[in-house]
Amino acid sequence: MKCIGLIFAFLMLCSFNLTAQYSENYVSVSSEIIDNEIYSVIEMTRKDERVKVKYFADKDLAGRSVYQRYLTWSKNKSIIASCSGTYYGMDNKPVGICIDEGQTVNKAEAAMDALVLVYRTGGIVVTDLKEGNLTVQNGAENLALNLKNPIDRTKFFLWSKENYATVFQTHLLYYKNKLRVGANGDKELRERRFLAVARDDEDKIRYYLINLKGNNTLYNATVKVEGYLKNYTDNIIYIINLDTGAQDYFEVREAKGQLMNEAGFKGNKPLNVSKNLLVFYFE
Amino acid sequence: MSKSVGFFSRPFTLFVLGLLCMGFILLSFLFWTLNVTPDNYFSYVNDPNAAITCNVNHVSVTSDDLENGSWMNKVITKSNNCSVFLTEIQIKELSNALVNNFPDKKDLIQLGLITLLTEQTLQMVKGNLEVYNPYKIKGILDWLSTLNVAAKLDPDNEIIYLSVNDYWFNFISGKLTEYQKINPDIRYYFKFRYLAQHCNQALYFVNVEETKYEKVKKNLLANHWVHLIQASWSDAKIWQRSVFLFVFLFTMFTYLFTIISFVNKTTLK
């Protein structure tokens, strides 16, 4: 009987390790101190498209919370990191355009330039709303849309419903080799978290999730992160802001699945009260 | 008589009267600050259907006008008695007439009508919306509700109604967000809350931001002391931190001094 119990426990341990793992060839987690600032960085390559992204923006139609949805979905998934995405207003609704798998959460455009599209295939694309040149896949053909145009906006919402698109809006801090945030902007000093996307030497897309635990203004933190990334790549595609204010949810897992306890890899709030989650996972 | 004298001569009478007065004053204060007095706020709003009597002129529109977009100026009646917001009947009439005359240019007509009912109309009413005016906004929302119904009844022109509805709701939601940033007090006014709720129901959420005072109050009520201290410390300037440290150290020193002198006294005894 004892023997059966031991075998069972061993199998449970093995299955846990099997389900919660990612390859370190695709993901690297590191901490660096530069000028007294701790840079907590999760670097992920999109080579072979094994690293994917999923976004939970709101309760589903059955009324399950974001965290409940995340728990159900994440079974048998190898989670790399989970963090908050966009900002939420006083009425607990996301600020700016937000669509969760085709279900519209908020149609009101906010004064933020980045429109983030999370594809069902796990890719993430950012477009500059000011440029008005969003291109989406509509069946076999591409649909070019300018969301400043009323008819294109309607077409976009119809497209997102038909294609179960997931979309949210946030601040675009760096785009096409240009800083998009001014030094005279928000002066609030706080912890900052960014998602940066760049191309590596092999022309493959790399995601960088960077957390600065020290207190920085949005501008200072962006300049620091830009400088940090330029040590590794000349081709930064964009940097967007992730909320660390009221929505400071952040969890990172090691390659074997354990949660990291270092301060730079943890948010101030537990995931189980999250209102929105941007999840990076490995398949 | 004797009962009445007895009541007023009792010691708690003044206390009860005082409580009643306080209650009355507090209630008045509440009504004044929250602006929640019951009233028919929107009784002065003009009926948007009043414009139905004004005819839209579409007879003189030529093919060239359609191409270069100049037809929009021709169809809008500039009479003072007419609303700049075309009714669903006028829109349908105009659309049908233009499509009948130019059947091969349906897309161009739809695009033109959407531009006419969104950007062109906005140019005409922009001045009225520079400052917060709930009555004007209520008028637009009433107009939109008629278009929303029309979208279901007129499938040929559904894209027009949907686009116009979306444009104006997005605009109004943005404007309400802007107004409450300029004057945060209006977010507690009944009229503002009514309009914001209208937008929220249509899934165009008005971004009501918390002021610093509201954030502190919320964290105090939720007992988030650690967050409150961390946030206050990180937001504080150097002189504020210095003052805090000085007051803190001074308080600690006085406590310490008191304890030491107390201990010395008891030891001496």
Question: Which domain-ending residue is among B176, B201, B226?
Answer: B201
Q: Do A107 and B170 touch (CB under 8 A)?
A: yes
Single out the residue of A99, A76, A92, A112 nearest to residue A274, CA to CA: A92
Q: Which residue of A has its CA nearest to B234?
A: A189
- Do residues B251 and B165 share a domain? no
**Which chain A residues have a beta carbon less than 8 Å from that of B151?**
none
Query: Do residues B194 and B248 share a domain?
Result: no
DSSP state of B38: -
Q: Are residues B63 and B173 in the same domain?
A: yes
**Cα–Cα distance list, B139 to A54, A168, B41, B221 (Å):** 41, 31, 12, 39
Point out the domain boundary residue: B142, B174, B201: B201
- Which residues of B lie inside 8 Å of A (Cβ-Cβ)? 110-111, 114-115, 118-119, 159, 162-164, 166-167, 169-170, 173-174, 177, 199-200, 202-210, 214, 227, 231, 234-235
Task: Clarify whether residues B173 and B65 are in a common domain.
Answer: yes
Residues of B with Cβ-Cβ distance to A103 under 8 angstroms? none
pTM of the model: 0.78
pLDDT at residue B72 tops 50? yes
> Which of B145, B155, B50, B49 is CA-nearest to residue B92?
B155
Residue B200 to residue A93, Cβ atoms within 8 A: yes
CB contact under 8 A, A91 and B200: yes
Shortest CA distance from A269: residue in chain B: B227
Does residue B260 lie within any of the structural domains?
yes
Q: Is the CB of B203 less than 8 angstroms away from the CB of A105?
A: yes
Interchain contact, B166 vs A90, CB within 8 Å: no
Residue B190 lies in a domain: yes
Confidence of residue B116 (pLDDT cuts 50, 70, 90): confident
The verdict on residue B186 lying in a domain is: yes
Q: Is A105 on the interface with B (CB under 8 A)?
A: yes
Instruction: Decide if B123 is inside a domain.
Output: yes
**Inside any domain, residue B131:** yes
- Inter-axis angle of helices B225-235 and B212-221, nearest 10: 150
What is the C-alpha to C-alpha distance for residues A112 and A114, in angstroms, rounded to an integer?
6
What is the mean pLDDT of the segment spanning B61-87?
72
Say whether pLDDT at B38 is over 60.
no
Q: Are residues B134 and B160 in the same domain?
A: yes
Closest-CA distance, A80 to chain B, in angstroms, reads 27
Give residue A89's identity as a one-letter amino acid code: G
Is residue B87 over pLDDT 90? no
In the numeric block, which tokens belong to residue A136? 């989406």
| Residue tagged 């499509």 (tokens) | B99
In this structure, are B159 and B220 located in the same domain?
no
Mean pLDDT of A56-85: 92
Q: What CA–CA distance (Å, rounded) separates A12 from A27?
A: 26
Q: Which of B159, B202, B204 sits opposite A154 (nearest CB)?
A: B159
Q: Are A233 and A198 in contact (CB under 8 A)?
A: yes
CB contact under 8 A, B159 and A109: no
Domain count, chain B: 2
Among the partner residues B159, B164, B207, nearest to A95 by beta-carbon distance: B207
**Chain B contact for A140 (CB, 8 A cutoff):** no
The pLDDT mean for chain A works out to 89
- pLDDT, tens digit (0-9, with 9 covering 90-100), for B190-244: 999 999 999 999 999 998 877 777 878 878 888 878 877 877 777 777 888 899 9
Q: Mind listing the pLDDT tens digit for each residue in B135-167?
A: 999 999 999 999 888 888 888 888 999 999 999
Whether residue A197 is predicted with pLDDT greater than 90 in this model: the reply is yes
Q: Contact B88/B160 with Cβ under 8 angstroms?
A: no
Which residues contact residue A184 at a Cβ distance below 8 angstroms, ignoring those fewer than 6 apart? none
Mark whether B104 and B232 lie in a shared domain: no
Angle value at C-alpha A135, between A153 and A173, nearest 5 degrees: 85
What is the arithmetic mean of pLDDT over B100-125?
87
B70 plus B155 within the same structural domain: yes
Q: With an 8 Å Cβ cutoff, are A108 and B167 in contact? A: no
Long-range contacts of B90-95 (CB under 8 A, 24+ apart): B90/B51, B90/B52, B90/B54, B90/B56, B91/B117, B91/B147, B91/B150, B91/B157, B91/B160, B91/B161, B92/B150, B92/B154, B92/B157, B93/B56, B93/B58, B94/B56, B94/B58, B95/B156, B95/B157, B95/B160
Q: Do B255 and B195 fall into the same domain?
A: no
- Mean pLDDT over A77-98 rounds to 91
Residue B241 and residue B185 share a domain: no
Give the count of beta carbons closer than 10 Å to the beta carbon of residue A247: 23
Interface test with A, best of B108, B207, B238 (most A CBs within 10 A): B207
Domain that holds residue B68: 48-201
Pairs of residues, one from chain A and one from chain B, whose beta carbons lie less than 8 Å apart: 73
Measure A152 CA to nearest chain B CA, in Å: 8
Task: Tell me the nearest-neighbour CA distance from A215 into chain B, angstroms.
Answer: 7
Q: Determine, for residues B206 and A157 on separate chains, whether the beta-carbon distance falls below 8 Å.
A: no
pLDDT at B204: 95
Return the minimum-mean-pLDDT range out of A4-8, A22-26, B62-66, B191-195: A4-8
pLDDT for A173 equals: 95
Q: What pairing do the DSSP bridges indicate for beta strands A277-282 and A190-199?
A: unpaired
Q: Which residues in chain A (158-217) have CB-CB distances under 8 A to chain B?
A: 188-190, 215
Tell me, yes or no, whether B16 lies in a domain.
Answer: no
Are residue B150 and residue B125 in the same domain, yes or no? yes
pLDDT for residue A100 is more than 70: yes
Of B126, B118, B154, residue with least CA distance to A150: B118
pLDDT of residue A251: 93
Residues B122 and B232 in one domain: no
Q: In what side-by-side order are the strands of the sheet with A37-45?
A: A27-34, A37-45, A205-216, A190-199, A235-242, A172-175, A178-179
Q: Residue A17: is its pLDDT beyond 50?
A: no
**Is the pLDDT confidence value at B42 over 50?**
no
Neighbouring C-beta atoms of residue A138, cutoff 10 Å: 15
User: Does some domain include residue B156?
Assistant: yes
Report the C-alpha gap between A66 and A63 in whole angstroms. Answer: 9
Contact at CB, B164 and A153, closer than 8 angstroms: no
Q: What share of chain B is helix, strand, coil (3-state, %, to 5)?
A: 75, 0, 25
Kindly state the average pLDDT of the residues A189-215.
92
Instruction: Identify the top-confidence range among A22-36, B51-65, B77-91.
Output: A22-36
Q: Whole-angstrom Cα distance, residue A104 to residue A153?
A: 13
**Boundary residue ending a domain (B201, B226, B247):** B201
* pLDDT attached to residue B144: 92
Is residue B27 a part of any domain in this protein?
no
Lowest-confidence segment of B148-152, B182-186, B196-200, B265-269 by average pLDDT: B265-269
Band the pLDDT of B249: cuts 50, 70, 90. very high
Name the token pair of B85. 């917001």
B170/A153 Cβ within 8 A: yes
Which residues of chain B lie closer than 8 angstroms to A110, CB-CB? 177, 207
Query: CB B163 to CB A154 under 8 A?
Result: yes
